[in-house]
Structure 1
Amino acid sequence: MARQGEMFRGVTVALVTPFRDSKVDEAGLRKLVDQLIEAGVDALAPCGTTGESPTLSHDEHDRVIAITCEQSNGRAKVMAGTGSNSTAEAIRLTKQAKKAGADGALIVSPYYNKPMQSGFYEHYKAVAEEGELPVVVYNIPGRSAKNIEPETIIKLAELENIVAVKEATGSMDQASQVLAATELTVLSGDDSLTLPLMSLGASGVVSVVGNIVPEDVKAMVEAASAGNWDEARKLHYKLFGLCRDMLSLATNPIPVKAAMKILGRDTGDLRLPLTSLEPAGIESLKNTLDNYGLKS
């Protein structure tokens, strides 16, 4: 029986949050939503890492999700970032996203307080039961400081409202364990690993580079889904350098915002403690964009 996570098959773009004069640029956000939907993406994920959620106020967080839902208006699914290292806060954010019209909740593993595996389970169980939205478990130990072990995810898969995993551990072994033992929809949380994960049975990606080249990410995922592996590999290698720059030049979302500015799609400043890409990084990024065929 298909689970609700199937709604997030394909390409979900992890939205940047445009800022102007230290405030959320609502017009810029609406424009970005329209551009990505017109490019054919399947879903949008506001208020994740790429959206600088740690520096959004609670009101801003709710507002960015509401704008994304309103502007999308059913043309694409909305996977709202509503995670927190406070279970009560994650539930509040998720309920508010439900009111705004979101289709699902992207819940990052609790960071900094480093729960035991039993704590991860109880956290996600509470959000799934009380938050009123299908839950995508976002496992990213590089940011949250601790892995949600495969055995815990397999146990979570028994809960009706846990529908998918955003897999950002970088471990093919972990992804294989989850795919083999559950019916969860597995989505790549790292653009450069989307094709390898899809070869194992993953269903798509929550993409950062999709902010820049959504059509190519979509084409690669569709080719892989159709079993056209030669075409998918061709697109993977085309995308690879750009995908790596998004992670290797500086912390996400510093490079993607820099790239959008270079390409004339300025989404404004970063919020401290994030700072702008340094000159050497900008030159490297310009070379990558030029080699890709994207001109400033």
Structure 2
Amino acid sequence: MFTGSYVALVTPMFDNGDIDYQSLEKLVQFHIEQGTHGIVSVGTTGESATLPFDEHVKVVKETVAMASGAIPIIAGSGANSTAEAIFLTEQIGRLGVDGFLSVVPYYNKPQQKGMIAHFNAVADASDLPVILYNVPGRTVADMLPETVAELANHKSIVGLKDATGDIGRLKATQPLVPSDFVILSGDDESSSEFLCEGGHGVISVTANIVPNAIAKMCEASLAGDFAQCRAINDTIKKLHSTLFIEPNPVMPKWALYKMAKMESAAMRLPMVLPELTSQKEIEELLQEYALISG
């Protein structure tokens, strides 16, 4: 369950901030055609923090309809308020999604016991599987391996997206959780090593741009071909770093816009378009990868 390459899908928008559903459908079909193993809809890369509840739910609903069962859909349902996360989980759970991705509450800086209470309450709100998401670089709070192990006792909590970028964290978590507990990389730069050390897949930002390469990298790792996994990663590793020279999702949105996958690179304030130097850097790299013409 939930192994392989899952894309942390951006949410396309027009310059006035409205959701661009036509471009969203184009992206969904792009991932189906390119072999992506699953989509995360309205996760943090999908700008969940700035989509109101009704819009958040509608984007997930439309993504499920667009995929039409061809590819699993995991929905972001996290919030820094437990009541809000429960509400989103309940609403989205009726839409035909395959599971949820729930981020550590941001800004509040909850204690480990608070995280346990929060995620257990969220998981109780639906019978669908929940993947925990630890990204201390964005949330400030860091969910420790022992906390993950405690939460893995809940019947609906089936996995973890680890975006610490620390392979040592993976090794510390593995012996504490059941063998069928899925551990996914949420850090593209360290993802190939994460896979080779026993990770089960990725939830990737880079997969927005080169979905087939990320899918093949995961497939190689899951087949035990770690040399091939690393070789594929070597061909795209420049993207991993360049896509994060400005805060996510600024750069992937600009790249997809230049690749003609979206009508606009617009995003919700307080996020704005990349600096001209950043635009030039990613465009030169896209040309190098033959993803856009010169």
Give the TM-score range, shorter chain. Answer: over 0.9
Partner residue in 1 for 2:4: 10
Distance 1:149 1:252 in 2: 24
User: Any stretches of 5+ residues in structure 1 without a counterpart?
Assistant: 1-6
CA contact (8 A) 1:109 1:138 kept: yes
CA contact (8 A) 2:193 2:230 kept: no
Q: C-alpha offsets along residues 258-296 of structure 1, whole Å, 9 cap, x if unaligned?
A: 111222223521111101111111111122222223224
Partner residue in 2 for 1:244: 241
Partner residue in 2 for 1:266: 262
Q: Is it true that 1:159 corresponds to 2:154 in the alignment?
A: yes
Sequence identity of aligned pairs in percent? 39
CA contact (8 A) 1:10 1:218 kept: yes
User: Any stretches of 5+ residues in structure 2 without a counterpart?
Assistant: none
CA contact (8 A) 1:108 1:138 kept: yes
Runs of 4+ in 1 over 6 A off after TM superposition: none
Partner residue in 1 for 2:226: 229
Could you tell me which amino acid in structure 2 is paired with residue 38 of structure 1?
A: E
CA contact (8 A) 1:188 1:205 kept: yes
Could you tell me which amino acid in structure 2 is paired with residue 19 of structure 1?
A: M
Task: State the shift of 1:28 in Å.
Answer: 1.5
Cα gap change, 1:93 to 1:169, in 2 (>3 Å): same
Task: State the shift of 1:65 in Å.
Answer: 0.6
TM-score, scaled to structure 1: 0.95
Partner residue in 1 for 2:22: 27
Could you tell me which amino acid in structure 1 is paired with residue 158 of structure 2?
A: V
Partner residue in 2 for 1:295: 292
After alignment, is 281-290 or 101-110 more displaced? 281-290
Distance 2:130 2:273 in 1: 33
Q: What SS does the aligned partner of 2:5 have?
A: strand
Match of 1:79 among 71, 74, 79: 74
**1:182-261 equivalences in 2 (<5 Å):** 182-183=177-178, 184-247=181-244, 249-261=245-257
Q: C-alpha offsets along residues 61-89 of structure 1, whole Å, 9 cap, x if unaligned?
A: 00011011111121111110000011111
TM-score, scaled to structure 2: 0.95
After alignment, is 250-259 or 284-293 more displaced? 284-293
Q: C-alpha offsets along residues 47-71 of structure 1, whole Å, 9 cap, x if unaligned?
A: 1121111111111100011011111
Could you tell me which amino acid in structure 2 is paired with residue 16 of structure 1?
A: V
Could you tell me which amino acid in structure 2 is paired with residue 40 of structure 1?
A: G
CA contact (8 A) 1:10 1:42 kept: yes
**1:116-155 equivalences in 2 (<5 Å):** 116-155=111-150
Q: For this pair of structures, how many residues does the alignment match?
A: 289
Q: C-alpha offsets along residues 2-24 of structure 1, whole Å, 9 cap, x if unaligned?
A: xxxxx210111111101123211
Q: C-alpha offsets along residues 110-136 of structure 1, whole Å, 9 cap, x if unaligned?
A: 011111110000001111112332110
Distance 1:229 1:197 in 2: 11
Could you tell me which amino acid in structure 2 is paired with residue 163 of structure 1?
A: V
CA contact (8 A) 1:104 1:133 kept: yes
Match of 1:56 among 48, 51, 55: 51
Partner residue in 2 for 1:3: none
Distance 2:51 2:214 in 1: 28
Task: State the shift of 1:168 in Å.
Answer: 0.5
Distance 1:209 1:199 in 2: 18
Could you tell me which amino acid in structure 2 is paired with residue 272 of structure 1?
A: L
Could you tell me which amino acid in structure 2 is paired with residue 214 of structure 1?
A: P
Could you tell me which amino acid in structure 2 is paired with residue 205 of structure 1?
A: V
Could you tell me which amino acid in structure 1 is paired with residue 255 of structure 2?
A: A
Cα gap change, 1:281 to 1:47, in 2 (>3 Å): same
Q: What SS does the aligned partner of 2:224 have?
A: coil
Distance 2:283 2:36 in 1: 25
More helix by share: 1
Q: What SS does the aligned partner of 1:289 have?
A: helix
